[in-house]
Every structure is written in structure tokens, then in C-alpha cells.
Chain A
Amino acid sequence: MLYDQALLRRLTEVTGGSGDEGGARQVLIEVAQSLADEISVDHLGSVTMRKNGEGLGRHPRVMLSAHLDEITLMVKKIDSGGFLRLAQVGGFDPRTLPGQEVTVFGREPLLGVIASKPPHLSTPEERKHSQPLDELYVDLGLAEDRVRALVRVGDRLTVRRNTIDLAGGRMSGKAMDNRASVTALVICLEELCRLRFGADVYAVASAQEEIGAIGAMTAAFRIKPDLAIAIDVCHGEMPGVEKDRVVPLGKGPVVTLGPRIHPSLYRRLLDTAKRHRLPYQLGLSQGATGTDADTLQVVAMGIPTALVSIPLRYMHTSVETIVFSDVQNAGLLLAHLIADLNSEFVEGLTCY
């Protein structure tokens, strides 16, 4: 396999905040050049990698959607002393931020630290409360006039983090949500280079999922696919969380059942996994899935939609942790689903 942990590492270590996905987009386009027939970038920043199927006649159109963006922070105000106040672009837990090193993308990239009051100075009463985002600030170690020359309100910043290999094939870093799924998309395209298939595949690395799943929605309106599959991360098993809300890491991608999901497409994914002996796990939802699937399903006349997820622990922190085999198996599951498709099945998706 050409695209392995190194690709995921590369994708997670670049920056690509919602609405500002440039860094991640550049890496992805470079990698996908040899795998897709055509690559385009749309108005909202989504990357569409098209791969044409074989055969005459109308090809079923399959859209895969893995969001490209990651949660980031933005400079909301420069306070006296040159300290930066923050807004979030996507949902952070502010309790994970004090003491983090950050990179501020000003006129040049700048290293900063999110300030925290030392225990010697804070009162026991203060330590009982977590600080909301509005009380946090970034120290750039620069004089105020230098800060004002190099940084302006609206500049982005991210937590500064290299991706780390843990034991057992686990990888930990920022932006695993959702570069793990983007990597699965690339693995799928690579696998499709080896397989024969009749569908036209539109693999979309969608922009701005973390602020409303709008990249997938607008891309789907343009592509008007016959079916769509969202690829995202889901919560991995951990202590203190009800068992039916989480799944173990390393036991395969999760295929979700629920109102947002087309029932036959769901069953087809399970059948595909069984036929190709790929591991999978069951996910349940009773409404919103919190992924691109939610918006995809109701675009235009409605799109038969499914969801494949990669289990991940510590979501929306800078130590998001996955097992790489789940990423690989998600990519292979998607590729085989596409290769096994036929027009009859696709046409049947609107016949209940």
C-alpha cells in the first residue's frame, strides 16, 4: 500500500481550519494527482477528485464525502500588552487549551503559549472552576507594537502538535478528525485503481464541516449523486462513557443505522464487508449523526446516504487517537462497495 501512516501523519501536521483549508488541500491535491481523472476546487473550498467508471451508458454517480477541515482558533482581539483573545472556529473544549503551544498564522507563523495562571498564585476557589474560552489568551513573547505589526484580528491559530506513534498501531495528534477519513478516501481511490468499476466516483474532501457541514451540501448540489457516503470519525471506547455511545478502536470501521441513513445502502455496506472479509462494527443513531451525512441526505430531491466512521478517542482535542488499520479497512470497504455496485441496485434506492 502506497498511502500509509506517512500520509496521515503529513495530513494531520499541516493546517486546514474551516473555511481556510488551504494547507491540507495542497497536500491532498498533490497526493491525489496520480489517482484521480480530474481534481477541482469549488467556491467553498471543497476538493472533488473524480474517478470515471468503465462502460457505456449512464454511469451511477457515487459521492464520497470526508471533511477536510479541522477545528481551529481565531484572533478575536489584541489586548493591551499584545495578548491575543480568541474565538473558536469549530467546537473546542476550552479546558484542553491552557498550557498549549500554538502557532499563530500572522504575517509570519509565530509560536505562542496559551497562558495559565500558576498554582502558586491561583486560589483554591479559582482552581475549582475551568476557564471559558473568553478568559484565555495567547502570549507571543513579543512587545505589543511587534504583535500589532505581525498579527491582526481574524488571523488563525492552531495547537502546535506533531503526530505521535503509540503502541499497537495507534496514532495520536491533532486533526485526526477528519484527516483519518481523508486518508481513507485516498486509500479507496488507490484501491479503485486496481479494481474494475462502472460508477463515476466523486471523492469529495469537503470544506467547513465543523461549522455547519456546508461544503458537503453545496458539493452534493453540484454533483447530484445517486448515492452518497459520508466518512467521518466516531467516539472510541473509553471508561466512564455508556457502552452504547462508543466503539472499540481497531475492530474495524463503523457502519451506522438510523433515520439519516438509507436502509438498503446500510445493508449493502454490511454485505460488502462480510463478502470481502473486512472487519466492521455497528453504529446506531436516533437522528442527527453530526456528520456530513445529515446535510447530504436532504440535498435537492434527497440523496440515499450512508455513513462509515473511524473510531477515535479524545475528539476535538490535540491528542485525537486512532488505530491505522481502521482507516485502511474503511478505505477498502468503500472501494469494494463501489466495485460491487450495479445500476439495478442504484435505481432501486428510491423504490421503497
Chain B
Amino acid sequence: MKDLIKSLAGVSAPAGAEQEVIRAIRARVEGVADEVYTDTLGNLYAIKKPAAGASSSVKTVLVAAHADEPGVTVVDIDDEGFLRIAPLGHLAAADLVGRRVRFVRSKILGVIYAEGDAKRNAVDFSQLFVDIAVSDQEEARKLVQIGDAAAFAYEMQEVTPRVLLGHALDNRVACAVAINLLASANVPFQLVVVFSVQQQVGSRGIQVAGYRINPDLAMVLDATPTGDTPKAKRLNLTMGSGVAIKALDAGMAVAPALVQHLIEVAEKAQIPYQIDVSPEAHTDAANLQIARSGIPTCGLSVPTRYLDTPSQMMHMDDVDAMGKLLQAWMASERLFDV
């Protein structure tokens, strides 16, 4: 599992330019899914048909994990060859000064810095630039064009054998859990796993995926903030204490019956869990539940420290608990009947 996470978490895949990570995921699901395809926005769908002998009125469960991460896009190249950028997703300009990024199309590295007269705590994006070590605009244009996107360029690392650190653990860890699910699933319903794009800019990918698949039930896998660091916001979750079962986030309140069902499954299978009330967290669940006539949607997340920074921290115990609870939930007899 750690190797799978590591292979996905080092890839740069900013919102709107996810092709590299989508390719990597595709290579891993093609052997285990019955059908694999992408759509206009770039979402990857991996479909597992029901086990033999299932009835004709077969139901569909959608499991979604977004593949993108926050990043930056080039809006201008100046005469000296410095790139001007704008954010893709939730990044604070001040947090980017001195960070390394990799461009998706050309693979080149760059470092983000701020104009000399920018105030340290009040930097805005118009003052940031990316240095790609060229001498003028012409040279820069050979490597980068306006619209190119970049994301953090840091390898995943282990703080301890059970604690991971990386720039895109949100949400490659969930992608890895979903890939494992496809490999092992043998279920009496149709399972559609969507590796969704453009979550960071407002869950755009999942909007069209939800419309396309129109499932009977949906589960969104993501990362969620903890409240266990010095003077953190007052949140319930602590790293290493179990998978987070979503009750509320910035976009939705999960139906109480769906939350209760997940709790019962977790307790029965003795899987550590915590309840997730994160009023400021955004996930694909909110946009998925409003597709067509409405889709019953719930969510599991990995409690994560330092979200939206290059040093996101997760505990493997929580990741394992997410995988186990997902499997147990899908095996539950009452899945469509809560």
C-alpha cells in the first residue's frame, strides 16, 4: 500500500492538468476493472461489473476520489523570462514563497518567489513569479506557455514507518485506497470508481461524472483537517485515531441514516473511526449529491495535518481503517436499505 501511495503521491497534477496522475492510475486499474474510460473533462472511470448471477435490476455504487491537487497556472511571461502565476485551488500566496514546483507539460522545475518589495505576510499573487533559470522571454517561451500548470514538486517521505509526509497525500492516498478496492471487489452490484478532476477549483469533474453515472449510492474518499495541533481550530479529529466518517462539511450534511449505518459497520468490524464535522472543508460529496434527482452520498476521509501545504501528514493506521471500512460497508447487507 505504501508503495502504491508513493508512486502516486510524487506526481504533479494540478487542477485541470491531471493527465500524468490519471495515466498512472489508469495503468493500475486497467487489469482489474472490466471497463476503463475518460470523459471530456478528464475524469477516469473504472467499472467493475457485478459478480455472475446478479439480477438484472442491478444497482450502481459510485466511489469517488479526486486525483488533482492545488497548483498554479502561468498567466504571463515577462521580458526577463520570469513567469507570472495565478492559483488553481486553495493556496495562499504567502505560503508559496520559496516553494519548488514542476510544470506538467514540459516537466521543468521552477521556484516560486516574491517581488523584492512584497511584504512577507501580505503577499498577493500579482507579486509572485516563478524562476525557471532562463535569461529572457524568448528562452522561457521555448519551455513554458501561458496556461501551463504546475504543482508542488516534492517526493513523499516517511516521518516514521507509519506516518507519511507529502504534497499530494490529499488525495492520492484515497486514490490508492480506491485502486485497492477495485482489485479486490467482488460485489453483487455495479461498482464505478471515479478518479475525478478539478476538485480543487469547485468539484467540477464530479459534477459531470455524477450526471453520467447517476448511481443509486455514492461514497466520496478524501482527506480532512484535524484539530490536534497547537492552537488548531476546534475540530474533533486527531491523526491516528481512525478513519473519519463525514457528518458535515462546508457543502453538505450527510443523511443521518447513512452516517449511522457507517458507524454500525465500523463498530461491528472493530474498525477505528471518528466522526467528521468540518464546516470549512470542501469535498466532491456536495456536488455529487445534487446530480440529476439527487444521490444518497456519504464520505470517508483520512484525518490529515497541514492540508494545502507541501507537507501534508497522514497516519497509515487511518489509511488502513479507510480501506477496511470501505470494504465492510460495501459488503453490508443493508447497503441499499438504510
Task: List the interface of chain A (C-beta within 8 A of B).
Answer: 17-20, 42-45, 74-79, 85, 87-89, 134, 152-154, 208, 211-212, 214-215, 217-219, 221-222
B289 an interface residue at 8 Å Cβ cutoff?
Answer: yes
B293 an interface residue at 8 Å Cβ cutoff?
Answer: yes
> Which of A88, A134, A212, A215 is within 8 Å of B234, CB to CB?
A134
Q: List residues of chain B with CB within 8 A of the CB of A42.
A: 293-294
**Given A76-B279, A77-B236, A134-B233, are A218 and B290 also a contact pair (CB < 8 Å)?**
yes
Q: List residues of chain A with CB within 8 A of the CB of B254.
A: 19
Complex Cα gap A341–B124 (Å): 56
> Which of A44, A85, A152 is within 8 Å of B294, CB to CB?
A44
> Which of B234, B259, B296 is within 8 Å of A76, CB to CB?
B234
Distance (Å) between the CB of B217 and the closest chain A CB? 9
Q: List residues of chain A with CB within 8 A of the CB of B295.
A: 43
A218 pairs with B256, CB closer than 8 A: no
Distance (Å) between the CB of B138 and the closest chain A CB? 46
Question: 29 A-B contacts, Cβ less than 8 Å apart?
Answer: A17-B253, A18-B253, A19-B253, A19-B254, A19-B256, A42-B294, A43-B293, A44-B289, A45-B255, A76-B234, A76-B277, A76-B279, A77-B234, A77-B277, A87-B248, A87-B277, A89-B253, A134-B234, A153-B247, A153-B274, A154-B248, A211-B252, A212-B252, A214-B294, A215-B294, A218-B293, A222-B292, A222-B293, A222-B294
**Given A74-B277, A77-B227, are A212 and B251 also a contact pair (CB < 8 Å)?**
yes
A217 pairs with B290, CB closer than 8 A: yes
B235 an interface residue at 8 Å Cβ cutoff?
Answer: yes
B247 pairs with A219, CB closer than 8 A: no
Q: Which residue of A lies closest to B211 (CB)?
A: A221
Q: List residues of chain A with CB within 8 A of the CB of B290.
A: 212, 214, 217-218
Q: Which residue of B lies closest to A87 (CB)?
A: B279
Q: List residues of chain B with CB within 8 A of the CB of A214.
A: 289-290, 294
B251 pairs with A43, CB closer than 8 A: no
B185 an interface residue at 8 Å Cβ cutoff?
Answer: no
B109 an interface residue at 8 Å Cβ cutoff?
Answer: no
Complex Cα gap A211–B292 (Å): 18
Q: List residues of chain B with CB within 8 A of the CB of A87.
A: 248, 277, 279
> Which of A154, A218, A222 is within 8 Å of B277, CB to CB?
A154
B328 an interface residue at 8 Å Cβ cutoff?
Answer: no
**Given A76-B235, A154-B248, are A20 and B293 also a contact pair (CB < 8 Å)?**
no
A221 pairs with B293, CB closer than 8 A: yes
Q: List residues of chain A with CB within 8 A of the CB of B247.
A: 74, 153-154
B271 an interface residue at 8 Å Cβ cutoff?
Answer: no
Q: Which residue of A lies closest to B251 (CB)?
A: A212
Within 8 A of A (CB), among B270-312: 274-275, 277, 279, 286, 289-290, 292-296
**Given A77-B235, A134-B233, are A153 and B277 also a contact pair (CB < 8 Å)?**
yes
Contact with A along B239-252 (1 / 0, CB 8 A): 00000000110011
A153 pairs with B252, CB closer than 8 A: no
Complex Cα gap A79–B286 (Å): 28
Which 10 A-B pairs rank lowest in CB-CB distance, beginning with the nearest?
Answer: A19-B253, A218-B294, A154-B247, A222-B293, A153-B275, A44-B294, A43-B294, A77-B236, A154-B275, A76-B277
Distance (Å) between the CB of B56 and the closest chain A CB? 22
Q: Which residue of B lies closest to A156 (CB)?
A: B256
Complex Cα gap A310–B236 (Å): 39
Known: A20-B255, A45-B255, A87-B279. 12 other contacts (CB 8 A): A17-B253, A19-B254, A19-B255, A20-B256, A74-B248, A87-B277, A153-B274, A153-B277, A154-B248, A154-B277, A215-B294, A221-B292
Q: List residues of chain A with CB within 8 A of the CB of B274.
A: 153
Q: List residues of chain B with CB within 8 A of the CB of A219.
A: 293-294
Q: Which residue of B lies closest to A222 (CB)?
A: B293
Q: List residues of chain B with CB within 8 A of the CB of A218.
A: 290, 292-294
Q: List residues of chain A with CB within 8 A of the CB of B293.
A: 42-43, 218-219, 221-222
Complex Cα gap A316–B290 (Å): 25
Q: List residues of chain A with CB within 8 A of the CB of B252.
A: 19, 211-212
Within 8 A of A (CB), among B103-139: none
Complex Cα gap A152–B267 (Å): 14
Contact with A along B204-241 (1 / 0, CB 8 A): 00000000000000000000000100000111100000
> Which of B234, B235, B259 is within 8 Å of A154, CB to CB?
B259
Q: List residues of chain B with CB within 8 A of the CB of A217.
A: 290
Complex Cα gap A18–B253 (Å): 7
> Which of A20, A43, A85 is within 8 Å of B253, CB to CB?
A20
Distance (Å) between the CB of B300 and the closest chain A CB? 14
Complex Cα gap A89–B192 (Å): 31
Complex Cα gap A20–B251 (Å): 15
Q: List residues of chain B with CB within 8 A of the CB of A134.
A: 233-234
**Given A20-B256, A89-B253, A152-B275, are A43 and B233 also a contact pair (CB < 8 Å)?**
no
Q: Which residue of B lies closest to A19 (CB)?
A: B253
Q: Which residue of A lies closest to B256 (CB)?
A: A20
